[in-house]
Amino acid sequence: MDAIFLQFLNGLDKGGAYALIALGLTLVFGTLGVVNFAHGALFMLGAFCAVTVRKILTLEMIATDPEKVTAWGTPLEIRTPYVEAWFGDFGSFMVDYSVPFSILLAIPVMLVIGIVMERGLIKHFYRRPHAEQILVTFGLAIVLQEIIKHYFGANPIPQPMPSVVGGAADIGAAMGMDPNVIVYPWWRLIYFAFSVVVIGAVFAFLQFTTFGMVVRAGMADRETVGLIGIDIDKRFTAMFGLAAVVAGMAGVMYTPLLPPDYHLGMDFLVLSFVVVVVGGMGSLPGAVAAGFLLGILQSLASMTEIKAIIPGIDQIIIYLVAVIILLVRPRGLLGRRGVMES
């Protein structure tokens, strides 16, 4: 029982990442009608925002200490990051918290990337067949990841989490169970909470603001909204930017859990597409629900007890579920009628 609960928890952070990416994918699809295979690359770009910020923050000032010498007789070098030299304690605090700080960079950067991408390329593909949309965004994803590979190399770059939350939380004890049975890394909890907050914020934005209302109206009937005299294209471009920001933030926060490398996006993209399809193309709640569901299912399937019964199930569970859902409930869990059924 404890083991199951622990695996359930383990699924939450992964599920959170799937849900965030799938949310963005669905948002883009629901507004622009574009199947965006480059969305995983946006997740990856977000992760590399964190890498960049950390690189800048840890640029080191090298001073030599004339008093001491190393074993080789050269003066001892003292390396301190510039920010620490300039800001003292606040500087080291910034270095320690580089991942959360990166969100501040990631938001504007991803917004710009998203809008440029939409205006520069995606815009021309509104009325083209879905196959061509898939192909062009697939090509774009390759371009983006190769650029990252060129500048950051092919190896994963580990990002430390803030040291305060480096440990694990004894959740079992907090819930009145025996201590040290269910221990869970803090950062995973934070990631889960973060994804819930972001998802909540996106839904609130769509539900409770005028802008969101117009967007929802546009998703339902683009033409009519246009006839009222609203420039719906502009709002949809903004939604693409928003989706890019969500994916980017998801990427930033995921870096301590999984060292980012250039094909991180592709790995997540395939899964996120499966998530979107399982949740129902075009359904935002469906995408979120399916994200968490598949994340949890995946981590349950990787329990040794289950692997003993069906070997290899952890590798294929997500795809298997997708196949079954698509065959039994072709529109996905919460899909609407008439979406992508041509």
Partner 1 sequence: MNALFSMSRKDVITFVLFAAVVLLMPIWLQPFGAAYPDLMQKFAIFGILAIGFNVLFGLTGYLSFGHAAFLGVGSYTAVWTFKLFSMNPIPALILAVVISGIFALAIGFVSLRRSGIYFSILTLAFAQMSYNLAYSVLTPITNGETGLQLTLDDPRIVDSAFGGVNDGSLPVSNLFGLVDMSGISGFYFCAVFLIIGFFITQRIFASPFGMMLRAIKSNQTRMNYTGFNTRPYTLTAFVISGMFAGLAGGLMAVTDPLAGAERMQWTASGEIVLMTILGGVGTLIGPVVGAWLIKYFENIFSSFNESVLHNLFSFLPDNVESFVVSVTSMFVGEGWHLTLGLIFVLVVTFLPGGMMEGFRRIGSLFNRDGGDKAKPDEPAPAPAPAE
Of the pair 55, 329, the CB lying nearest partner 1 is at: 329
Q: What is the dihedral of CA 131, 135, 137, 140, to 10 degrees?
A: -170
Q: Is 312 in the site for partner 1 (CB under 8 A)?
A: yes
Minimum separation from the CB atom of position 5 to partner 1 (A)? 26
Report which of 249, 241, 265, 272 is spatially closest to residue 145, judged by C-alpha positions: 265
Minimum separation from the CB atom of position 342 to partner 1 (A)? 6
Structure-block tokens of residue 243: 């989706």
Q: Is 130 in the site for partner 1 (CB under 8 A)?
A: yes
* CA-angle at 275, arms to 337 and 129, nearest 5°: 55
Report which of 151, 48, 40 is spatially closest to residue 102, judged by C-alpha positions: 48
Q: Is 223 in the site for partner 1 (CB under 8 A)?
A: no
Q: Which of 111, 115, 134, 177 binds partner 1 (CB under 8 A)?
A: 134
Pairwise CA distance, residues 293 & 295, whole Å: 5
Q: Which of 140, 206, 296, 334 binds partner 1 (CB under 8 A)?
A: 140
Q: Which of 65, 128, 197, 329 binds partner 1 (CB under 8 A)?
A: 128
Minimum separation from the CB atom of position 293 to partner 1 (A)? 16
Pairwise CA distance, residues 4 & 172, whole Å: 13
Number of H helices, E strands in the chain: 15, 4
Displacement of CA 144 from its chain's centroid (Å): 16
List b or e across 192-224, with b for residues whose CB sees 16 or more CB atoms inside 10 angstroms.
bebbeebbeebeeebeeeeebebbebbbeebee
Strands 60-69 and 75-81: antiparallel
Return the range that interacts with partner 1 (CB under 8 A); candidates 55-63, 108-116, 189-197, 320-328. Answer: 320-328
Of the pair 258, 326, the CB lying nearest partner 1 is at: 326
Amino acid at 265: G
Q: Is 333 in the site for partner 1 (CB under 8 A)?
A: no
Return the range that interacts with partner 1 (CB under 8 A); candidates 146-154, 179-187, 210-218, 292-300. Answer: 146-154
Return the range that interacts with partner 1 (CB under 8 A); candidates 3-11, 202-210, 232-240, 270-278. Answer: 270-278
Q: Is 163 in the site for partner 1 (CB under 8 A)?
A: no
Structure-block tokens of residue 263: 């094909």
Of the pair 79, 127, the CB lying nearest partner 1 is at: 127
Contact string 74-113 vs partner 1 (x = CB under 8 A): ----------------------------------------
Report which of 320, 322, 295 is spatially closest to residue 310, judged by C-alpha positions: 320
Minimum separation from the CB atom of position 296 to partner 1 (A)? 19
Report which of 32, 233, 27 is spatially closest to residue 225, judged by C-alpha positions: 233
Q: Is 131 in the site for partner 1 (CB under 8 A)?
A: yes
Report which of 109, 288, 292, 126 is spatially closest to residue 206, judged by C-alpha positions: 288
Q: Is 281 in the site for partner 1 (CB under 8 A)?
A: yes
- The footprint of partner 1 (CB under 8 A) covers 35, 121, 124-125, 128, 130-132, 134-136, 138-143, 146-147, 149-150, 266, 270, 273-274, 277, 281, 311-312, 315-316, 319-320, 322-323, 326-327, 330, 340-342
